[in-house]
């Protein structure tokens, strides 16, 4: 056997050995972690009552500002608590986006369906508006210090006259819903039920404090 053929055979043998060793090492590696469970903050809007009397409609345009969130809740992580002042998050469960961003279109849709305004637009918008609704998520958490666990959803709202920059009315809405199961999905379902009631109350608040038609 010539020296060249010997080198060639040695290289083939080394390559085959490397493939075997790599295959053995890969079988020893831990499996990849399962993907995260991703959930939506959503509301069953068809269940929200719609105002049908045209005489009650305010002939004004309402702008809905992008909701804000207090520190600790401006995140896509799902927050839970088991003691006062301590926030924890699920490791493999999260929201599809921050709750504040998911809340924005729901506010617009709910207020449109209320029939209380000539038009409802998100901000920024090219449409000139008379009033603006500003909101802030104060708290959205699953509380495991009680059994069954419960979701606490608190939202602050301000109705502002855009022309004068005056706060016409402000209110804090708080809803609590027991979780059907003691896990993240139970918290999601409870959060969405609480949100439905909160949206109904918020729509009534805006209609009540808007200038008369």
Contact 187, 159 (CB under 8 A): no
Contact 198, 175 (CB under 8 A): yes
What whole-number distance in Å separates Cα of residue 155 and Cα of residue 135? Answer: 7
Ramachandran sector of residue 165 (left: φ over 0; alpha: ψ -120 to 50; beta: rest) = left
What whole-number distance in Å separates Cα of residue 1 and Cα of residue 133? Answer: 88
What local confidence, expressed as pLDDT, does residue 201 receive? 95
Number of CB atoms found within 10 A of residue 103's CB? 25
What local confidence, expressed as pLDDT, does residue 2 receive? 57
What local confidence, expressed as pLDDT, does residue 30 receive? 72
pTM of the predicted model, to two decimals?
A: 0.80
- The CA-CA-CA angle for residues 22, 24, 27, to 5°, reads 110
What local confidence, expressed as pLDDT, does residue 124 receive? 87
HSE (CB half, 13 Å, CA atoms) of 136? 11
What whole-number distance in Å separates Cα of residue 103 and Cα of residue 115? Answer: 19
152-202 residue pLDDT tens:
999 999 999 999 999 999 999 999 999 999 999 999 999 999 999 999 999
What local confidence, expressed as pLDDT, does residue 55 receive? 47
Identify the segments of the chain with pLDDT beneath 50: 52-55
């Amino acid at each position: 056997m010539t020296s060249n053929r010997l080198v060639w055979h040695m290289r083939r043998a080394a390559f085959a050995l490397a493939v075997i060793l790599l295959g053995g090492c890969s079988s020893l590696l831990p499996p990849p972690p399962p993907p995260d469970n991703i959930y939506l903050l959503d509301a069953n809007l068809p269940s929200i009552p719609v105002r049908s009397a045209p005489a009650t409609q305010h002939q004004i345009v309402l702008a809905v500002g992008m909701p804000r969130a207090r520190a600790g809740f401006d995140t896509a992580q799902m927050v839970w608590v088991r003691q006062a002042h301590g926030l924890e998050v699920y490791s493999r469960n999260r929201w599809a986006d921050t709750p504040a961003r998911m809340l924005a279109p729901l506010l617009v849709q709910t207020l449109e369906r209320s029939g209380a305004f000539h038009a409802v637009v998100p901000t920024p918008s090219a449409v000139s508006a008379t009033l603006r609704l500003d909101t802030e998520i104060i708290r959205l958490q699953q509380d495991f210090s009680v059994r069954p666990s419960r979701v606490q959803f608190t939202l602050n709202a301000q109705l502002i006259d855009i022309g004068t920059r005056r706060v016409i009315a402000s209110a804090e809405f708080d809803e609590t819903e027991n979780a059907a199961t003691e896990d993240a999905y139970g918290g999601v379902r409870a959060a969405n039920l609480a949100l439905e009631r909160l949206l109904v109350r918020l729509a009534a608040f805006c209609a009540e404090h808007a200038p008369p038609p």
